[in-house]
Structure 1
Amino acid sequence: MWGPYLPPLSTFIVKEFELSGFMMGLMMSSFYLGCIVFSFFTGHIINSLGIQNSIVISLIVIGFFIMASSFFNSEWAIILLLAFSGMGYSLINPAINLLVTQDFSIEVRGLAMSVKQMGVTLGGVLTALLLPKLAFIYNWRTSLFIGGVIVASFSLYFFFMLKSYSSPPVSSSNLNHLKNIKIFFQNSKLVRLSILSFFFVGAQFSYFMYLVLFLNLDLNYSIAASSFLLAISQASGAIGRVIWGAASDRSGDKRKVLTWIGILSSIFLVLLSFSSLLSMPYKLIGAITVILGFTISGWNGIFQAAIIEYGGEKAAAVSSGVSLTFTYLGIFLFSLFFGWTKDLFSSFSLSWIILSICLIFSTLLIYKDQSSISAKSKKIAG
């Protein structure tokens, strides 16, 4: 929903404010500050407001503060307003997850979640193609304002689409919010998956946030050419989410699929880091970005389906909200760290390598969890 808006405009914003890589990372990730603060409580809020009201209110909040941010000339004012916008976003993901949980069986839930997440990457395709053109014709502020209008207008769509939808009554277990949070942290599967999401989302968002800047500054591609590669990478990610989601449902082991996503993403991040040293042709860079989009953004729907599967459907909103706190924290911290490494080494190449190492670490974490479960199963069978 939100993620695709600033990256296509990053070059315009950096030039106007003369931002360092660290400050650009702070601006692009400030949206998730509000998410981090509210995510622990979104489950309780959604259970109180209901699914429809939660989605509608979140879209209005997101759109309003995005539009407001386009009027300010201070980078700190923009950062603050985007953080307020993030408070709305913290509601929408768990609310839609709860909707999917109620309407789809566990056998197809990985695919359903991935199709839901595909909407985010398709939004990325459209914004990567549309917003830079609007920024060239008018300016980046007008382009950003239009993005906010689009988000807010979707609140009307969901208001009427879900008008006849009635949320099931909230059980007493859902009302005991603190107890559900405690149960979440006692579940090792949920904690490991949440740690994995911290690293996976950090790599994913760093890639999509900084790809245009990398192509423009390090490889000297034009903004149009860089935005086009971002768009096709986002499109590949939309397809990848559906295919990876179907694969996870077919295999019945979501963590094994997540492991493969981590390994492949790590390999192609290393290849991307070499592109500035080896003078790779444009078509080869395009192929790398397409494959990276396919892999690095394919994990999210599977992860959210796994969180609900391992945490139980009764606590779906709470489990989604708490786990997404790790996710939003990963987006925020990795964006800052990635920008800082760019400032420190004057190149993105080492930053891609660091992301690759983080993905390998997180896949080893989930692989260890799979190995321990297999060992226990064999012991019981023996």
Structure 2
Amino acid sequence: MNQQTAPSPAPSLPPSPPPQVGIALLATTLVLAFSSLVALFPSAIAPTLADSLGVSTATVGIQVSLIFGGAMLTSLVGGPLTRRYGPCRVSQLALGLLGGGAALLTLPSLATFALASLIAGLGYGLTNPSASLLLFRVTPRHRQGLVFSLKQTGVPLGGVLAGLVAPALALAIGWQAALGCLFLVAVIGILLLQVQRHHWDRERDPRTPWLTTPLAGLQVVWQRPALRYLALLSLCFSAIQLSVSAFTVALLVEDLGVGLVVAGATMSAVQVFGIIGRVLWGLVGDILDDRLITLMGLACLSAGSGLAIATMDADWPRWTMVAVLCLMSLSALGWNGVFMAEITRLAPAERVADAAGGCLVLTYSGVLVGLPLLGALHGLFGSYTALFGLLAGLALVGLGFLLKARRAIAAPG
């Protein structure tokens, strides 16, 4: 008797092969590191750049705000743009905008300086939505926390490169030629990414509208309570992170009587512990298989160390000051990868890039609004130790958002 079998369904598109995880991680980390390098390059040569533009070094510092302002704009459309053209093509677009912004910075004009910073910021804002979608597709769920955290080390890595490379290049070949080198690096990166485009962009949907739906990412986030509270958490954590980076040296020198050389060395240690924290907490989140609990632990650690810093005075032993600041850095600078991985878990699979872009709008808002506000509060309180006490309170606010996110996930329906 002939036995008929039901026809097998048409094969679906197979997932990317395992080797793609390593290649994708390397590519997305380097793109993110390059974006951070471009963003911080002018600050690293601020005195030279200020002389050429005829402005103060403080004016050069405004460039960071312009960068994040541009990043907020493209975060709004980064999700649908990535779904339409694919994560590889959008990463190439990001490199093009970053390199183009660097090239435009070579023109010694304040107007072009502002425009170039905004253009580079547009590229900066495209890096995470595209990277999130790509890594979500190729990374096993039980390794996403570690992989996303490793990718996020690109931010401090770019900062380290800016500090090491920018002044040396500016002295060796001039600041304009140094910025021109960044444009060449961007072109090389675009060409190298093209090799992978067939694999990484095969699931793109050319019919996806992007320019007509600038609020799509925010809608995805706001319609899902857990994602909404996670985004609000990032507003708090990003303000804490940038404050730790911006105010550590001033805290040590002005409030605690530490010499500038020792304060600078402490700042370097703080950044190194931030990198360690990004990898460590990503691994912890994967082991626990609960990234919200991991983020809660980070919030508590930030609050506790912030309160300890608030009690510091000049009589504290130097090693104790450094240890507490590094402990705060471990959490305050180490949350990003766990946060990005949790976005991919909470978002609908087909809207991962949209959710990443929507959340990052609030993340960048924490930088744009939080840092100037905290700086103004320092003027009111008159000490940086008191300011770190406020950061502890902000960490507890973030903990409250995490508790709300957990309750939203547990709620029926």
The structure with the larger Rg is 2
* 1:57-97 Cα distance to aligned partner (Å, 9 max, x none): 212322332454465475x7645532332111111111111
Q: 1:40·1:321 contact (CA, 8 Å) conserved in 2?
A: yes
- For 2:204 and 2:221, the matched residues in 1 are separated by 18
Gaps of at least 5 residues in structure 2 are 1-32
- For 2:167 and 2:324, the matched residues in 1 are separated by 22
| TM-score, with length taken from structure 2 | 0.77
- For 2:357 and 2:300, the matched residues in 1 are separated by 27
Matched residue type, 1:45: L
Q: 2:266·2:322 contact (CA, 8 Å) conserved in 1?
A: yes
Mark the CA change 1:35 to 1:364 in structure 2 (over 3 Å): closer, same or farther.
same
Q: 1:128·1:230 contact (CA, 8 Å) conserved in 2?
A: no
Corresponding residue to 1:203 among 240, 243, 264: 240
Matched residue type, 1:164: Q
Farther-moved stretch of structure 1 (116-125 vs 59-68): 59-68
Q: 1:273·1:353 contact (CA, 8 Å) conserved in 2?
A: yes
Tell me what 1:238 maps to. 275
Tell me what 1:94 maps to. 129
Residue 108 (str. 1) matches residue 143 (str. 2): yes
Higher relative contact order (CA 8 A, sep 6+): 1
Residue 170 (str. 1) matches residue 204 (str. 2): yes
* 1:84-130 Cα distance to aligned partner (Å, 9 max, x none): 32111111111111110111021111111001001222233343455
Q: 1:202·1:334 contact (CA, 8 Å) conserved in 2?
A: yes
Matched residue type, 1:188: P
Corresponding residue to 2:319 among 277, 283, 290: 283
- For 1:170 and 1:215, the matched residues in 2 are separated by 50
Mark the CA change 1:337 to 1:315 in structure 2 (over 3 Å): closer, same or farther.
same
**How many residues are treated as equivalent by the alignment?**
370
Q: 1:216·1:223 contact (CA, 8 Å) conserved in 2?
A: yes
Tell me what 2:4 maps to. none
Tell me what 1:43 maps to. 79
Corresponding residue to 1:59 among 95, 100, 111: 95
Q: 1:8·1:212 contact (CA, 8 Å) conserved in 2?
A: no
Farther-moved stretch of structure 1 (353-362 vs 5-14): 5-14
Q: Secondary structure at the match of 1:30?
A: helix
Deviation at 1:334, TM superposition (A): 1.2
Identity of aligned residues (%): 22
- For 1:28 and 1:257, the matched residues in 2 are separated by 30
- For 1:266 and 1:215, the matched residues in 2 are separated by 19
Tell me what 2:330 maps to. 294
Q: 1:43·1:94 contact (CA, 8 Å) conserved in 2?
A: yes
Mark the CA change 1:181 to 1:202 in structure 2 (over 3 Å): closer, same or farther.
closer
Matches within 5 A, 1:334-373: 334-371=370-407, 373=409
| TM-score, with length taken from structure 1 | 0.82
Tell me what 2:9 maps to. none
Q: 1:29·1:335 contact (CA, 8 Å) conserved in 2?
A: no
Q: CA RMSD of the aligned region, Å?
A: 3.5
* 1:199-224 Cα distance to aligned partner (Å, 9 max, x none): 11111122113334444554565555
Farther-moved stretch of structure 1 (86-95 vs 265-274): 265-274
Mark the CA change 1:297 to 1:317 in structure 2 (over 3 Å): closer, same or farther.
same
Deviation at 1:298, TM superposition (A): 1.6
Deviation at 1:24, TM superposition (A): 7.9
Mark the CA change 1:134 to 1:295 in structure 2 (over 3 Å): closer, same or farther.
farther
Corresponding residue to 1:82 among 90, 100, 117: 117
